[in-house]
Amino acid sequence: MEFYLKCSLKTSANPAAAKAAVETIMNQAETGLLAKGAPAGEGAKIKSWSLDDNRIHIELTSGKHVRVHDALMRLKKSISEALGKEKIGVRGVEVEKFTIVVSSAHDLKNKTIPYVKSVFFDEIQKILCLELDVGEAEMKNQVPDRILTLIEDKLEQGDYGAKAEHWNLLWESEDRPFSYTADPTEDMLKLGWLKRGSGRGQWIHGPVSTKLFRTFEKIVVDEILNPLGYNEMIFPKMVMWDIWKHSGHAKGIYPEIYYVCPPKTRDPAYWEDVMDYYKVTKEVPVELIKTKIGDPIGGMCYAQCPPCWGFFQGETISKDSLPIAVFDRSGTSHRYESGGIHGIERVDEFHRIELVWIGTKEQVVETTQKLHERYMHIFNDILDLKWRKAWVTPWFMAQEGIAGIAADEVTGTTDYEAPLPYRGKDGEWLEFQNVSINGDKYPSGFNVKCQTGEQLWSGCSGVGLERWTATFLAQHGLDPDNWPAEFKKRFGEMPKIVKFL
């Protein structure tokens, strides 16, 4: 890895008056300023420097230690102090050339990278050379470092986007025959249990499917939330960029979120032409509306737990409040599904109960184990499902575009999966439930501390009511006489179905 920077410090007057002081700084820098924090001999190097009218020209090179942009900031500070004694100020930095060279077996294949104005790949030497378009502000803000991290991540993935998830089977229930093999969504439509909404991946649930949702919800309340002491909260469903920056989702959610843009003003006069157009044409003037709305301020709820962290952000939690166990069921989540939508199990608008728990590492692990036990009881004894669970890439890593598993071997996600008989014997199983230990990711990201100074951890688990319904009906069918007795008892009588002529 090699860094090269050619630049100049702009001065308020000819710096010749302080030439001796600048020369001393430059002569001593490689063993002093530019060596701090680096192994012996691996600090930044000064390739050349010179003075002329209102400029100090500098060329720097470095490896991975004391990178050239950090080296320049150190030199600038020291030189500014020296020039100040001669009543000369440093007015800023002018970058002529900034390059990074990294070893690589892959080209970037014309990928557009922020602040990278050109990329050269030497297939013989197996190196990638990037020329950056950065200034002083970007160097101070460590933009070159983050560009390098981004490049390394893309190169590590090989094909720049196809990130395979880790999957390790933990447990699987016994095989069983299935008497129902139809697509439950199609049968629900025929029976009038639901109808398609006007939006993509959206359903209007009638009395029967709604009662199924509420029955599953009551099972979660009776078998998990009340016994394990969870308290209800209401999490925001419109999520601002600040939350996703702290949670890490801002790294990769853009293809999947529904964006929120406010109107530029609420003044009716500003919107009069839009209203008039509709009154005349009976068509909504979408293109005209685009000119009257502001920039996106965030998006609709995508992953349900991150917005709750605004409640704890910047706080110190008393030890006797731990562990904290809360849940939210106050509204829908929205995700622009990839790979197409299907039935009620793959939708853009969905309903979930989100569980979040916070505590010490030991408390979070213990809470997670209790949750696994309760889920196993529900899926075996109440819903009587064929299912399995697997250790997979942590959900937050997958959503940020990171492959693999967490290094500590405790942090991670357990997926609960079930076969859908209508997909056939070798069909893809549906992930209908998950449980995650997120380590210190969210307490650290949102600056949440413990009174005792112990490191806080957290976990989360989303109960997707559409996924539970799709799994249950796919395996048991729509005839209540074929449903497990324990579930049928909790469901009660079938609601009256609306009939249309």
Catalytic residue numbers, as ranges: 305, 335, 337, 346, 354, 415, 431, 434, 460, 467
Residues 127 and 101: beta-carbon distance below 8 Å: yes
**Burial of residue 52, with CB atoms counted within 10 A of its CB: 0-12 exposed, 13-18 middle, 19 or more buried:** exposed
d(CA 468, CA 184): 12
Q: Which of 223, 195, 221, 222 is nearest to 209 (CA)?
A: 195
d(CA 156, CA 464): 33
- Measured between alpha carbons, how far apart are the two ends of the chain, in Å? 73
Residues 416 and 172: beta-carbon distance below 8 Å: no
Residues 213 and 351: beta-carbon distance below 8 Å: yes
* Phi, psi torsion values for 486, nearest 5 degrees: -65, -40
**At residue 102, what is the residue type?**
V
Residues 96 and 7: beta-carbon distance below 8 Å: yes
DSSP assignment string, 189-214: HHHTSEEE-SSTT-EEE-HHHHHHHH
Residues 55 and 9: beta-carbon distance below 8 Å: yes
Two tokens, residue 282? 């009976």
* Phi, psi torsion values for 473, nearest 5 degrees: -70, -35
d(CA 441, CA 424): 39
